[in-house]
Each structure stands twice: as C-alpha cells, then as structure tokens.
Amino acid sequence: MMNRRQLVGLAGAAGAALLAGVPKALAAPFDLIIRNGRVVDPSVGLDGVRDVAIAGGRIVAVEANIAGDAAETIDARGKIVAPGLIDIHTHAGRSKEGPSLLLQDGVTGWVDAGSGGADNIDQIAAVARGAPQIGRALVNISRKGVVSPGGELHDLNLANVALAQGAIARNRDVVVGVKARLSDNVADVNDLEALRRAQEAASPFGLPVMIHVGQNYSPLRAYLALLKRGDIVTHMYAPGKNGILDDKGILHPEVMAARRRGVIFDFGNGVADHFDWDTVEKATKQGLWPDTFSTDWNTQSKTTNVVDFPNVMSKFFMFGMPLAQVIACATVNAARVFPSFDDRGTLNVGAPGDVTILELREGSFEFLDNYKGTRTGGQRLFPSETVLAGRQVKRA
C-alpha cells in the first residue's frame, strides 16, 4: 500500500512528463545496451551480471539494471561479456578481407607479426589503416618479410637495419615493433646476429622486438640475454631442441628470470612446430603460463587447429587456468604489450566501446596441438557477438 507522500511524488513526475511533452525516442541516452550478461573484465577484477551501456562509441556505464533506453539492445543473458579481444600475433595484414574475418571471431584489435619487411610492409600498413578495427604491425627484420617455406634469414644480408628503420619511419602510425623469426628453418646459424640487428633497428624508436622461437640453432638463454623489458617471446611452448625445457623436462631457470625482468611470453598457436601438449603441461606445472594468447592467424586458420581465437583460449581450461585469467590473456594483458592499445582490453568507463560476447559451453570438446595430438576438454568458448565502437557487427 503506497503512502500519501509516494502518491504525490508519482503524480508530480507524470505531470512533469506531460508538460515537457518530449517524444520518447529522443530521450534514448545510449546507442547500445548489452543487458544481463556475465561481465568478465579482469582489468577491474569484475565477474558478475551487469548491463554495459555505450554512447558516442565509448563505454559509459557498467552497472546492474541500467535504466533508460538505447537505440540498440543486445540480450546477453547466459553469455559472457568481455572486453574486445586483442590478438598480438596474426598475419591479418596479408589481405584486405583478413581484418573483417577476425572481427567475426570477436577480435577487435590485432597485430600483424612480421608478414612484411622493409620491401613489403607498406601493403601491410595499408591493410591496417583500412581495417574496421585497430590493426598494427611488426616489421620483419628481413626485408622480404615472412618467407615460408624457405625462411627469410638464411641470407643475413636480408636483415638490413637501415632499411628496417626506414620502414618504421614511414609507417610510424602502424608499426609498433620489430619481428625476428629465429627457428632453425628460418634463420639457422644467423639467429643471434639477426636478433642483434632487430634490436638495433628498434632501438632509436624505443620499440619492442618479438622473437619467434622453436627448434633453435642457439640455446634459448642466448636469445633471452638479448631481450629487454617489454620484448616478446612467441611460440613459447615450442618443443624440440633449445626450447624452454631441458632434456629432463625441467624449465631452464633463465626463462623465469627473463619474465621477472619484464620479458613477455606469448602462446602463438600457429599450425606447425609451435606447441605440443606435453610441453604445455610440463611448463605450466612448473609455473610458466602465457602472459598473452595469440593465434598466429591467417585466412586459412578456420580449417586448422586454430579455428578461432576463443578456441585457442579454451585450450588453457584443460590445464586449470581460471576463466578470468583466460580472458585477461586475450584482453588486458595483450593491451599492455603495445602502447597503441593502452585504452583497450577493458570495459572501463571511457574506454572504446569494443565488446566481445562469448558463449561458454560445457560438454566434451576435442582440441588439437601442432602435432595432431588431441586432448578433450569440458569447456569451450564460442564467439557469439562482436561490438565495435558501440555498434553490433553483422554476422557473416
């Protein structure tokens, strides 16, 4: 039973609305509200049912039961609402259609990791500039970019510091680092000198270097000794000679030492030779987890053991990584690697309105490593909806 004061109040509000006579549509304060999802935003330690409101392309509220209208509403009941996913090792710059395909998988930010060197980075940069979402690139220290098969560093003359610096200088808006692929099928005996040149190219610009490791000619500790804070090791769980584990399966102490001084370890799923289950299991049991996940994606990835970024993320549930940490590796941790992504990987008020909605299904899911090894997990994240700058991306 309402008391008299409440009745008066209601009558007053109704009267004010009548007097104002504002059409309801004009009153909608938000462009988009994502309602009732389980918001998992590790950047602020949030895991709970909330609404997310976006206006002017930016997050404006993350609260329970947001009042008010929106031009568009997404019902995310039963789904996970996460910051837009950021994939720091892709080859999305190789083709115009790459970035849009990634968007379908929930990837609202990507880095092309070394597809292009000094001779061909300009095409990669053009794709990045034309992409619907933020795209950045690492310039390969080999002027030819990735040469596969064959390898771009067997001829050391291709690792030309002056040319790489020129490529960075003319693409400062896109190039955020230097890539060196050091595995023996790419660099062989030239690995250490190629890495020195990559550092020399990056140094005047203050940029990080990402190294691709696996089946290396030189011991990994020799690479790690040449890495500075903020540099990235991708394909961290590559098995075979001169990897992270010794012959007895023990983690080399230099790996954890490198992490302690700020070297970043990236998963880098890929297709061949980049990880096997045994190495992941042994390393994670000794405490070496990825800082970031990445797919090493290309336009063919759907048909490989990558499938999509949420599938790659899901592989770590099997090793006991909690959901919030899985999301962190694909959002806030990735955003911290490159300053271009500083305001991303979060649903903080004021951040760009990039949101990935995922379905976490329970069941029996088969996952593959790079050696046709299968493991069965009980959970798999599936891409559901992608929101870019406050707009829902149309499903393909």
Binding site for Zn ion (CB under 5 A): 296
Q: In angstroms, what is the minimal distance from the CB of 328 to Zn ion?
A: 22
Q: In angstroms, what is the minimal distance from the CB of 141 to Zn ion?
A: 14
Helices 191-202 and 161-169 sit at what angle, rounded to 10 degrees? 40
Q: In angstroms, what is the minimal distance from the CB of 89 to Zn ion?
A: 6
Q: In angstroms, what is the minimal distance from the CB of 84 to Zn ion?
A: 21
Q: Cα separation of 385 and 76, whole Å? A: 9
Q: Are 53 and 355 in contact (CB under 8 A)?
A: no
Q: Which is nearer to Zn ion, 41 or 152 (CB)?
A: 152
For residue 356, the Cα-to-chain-centroid distance in whole angstroms is: 12
Measured at the CA of 29, the angle between CA 25 and CA 35, to 5 degrees, comes to 100
In three-state secondary structure terms, 282 is helix
Q: Which is nearer to Zn ion, 94 or 259 (CB)?
A: 94
Q: Which is nearer to Zn ion, 231 or 296 (CB)?
A: 296
* Long-range contacts (CB closer than 8 Å, 24 or more residues apart) made by 47-51: 47/323, 47/324, 50/81
Q: Which is nearer to Zn ion, 152 or 296 (CB)?
A: 296
Q: Which is nearer to Zn ion, 41 or 266 (CB)?
A: 266
Q: In angstroms, what is the minimal distance from the CB of 75 to Zn ion?
A: 37
For residue 150, the Cα-to-chain-centroid distance in whole angstroms is: 28
Q: Which is nearer to Zn ion, 59 or 329 (CB)?
A: 329
Count CB neighbours of 27 within 10 A.
Answer: 11
* Long-range contacts (CB closer than 8 Å, 24 or more residues apart) made by 48-54: 50/81, 52/81, 52/347, 52/355, 54/30, 54/353, 54/355, 54/387, 54/390
Q: In angstroms, what is the minimal distance from the CB of 269 to Zn ion?
A: 10
Residue, CB closest to Zn ion? 296
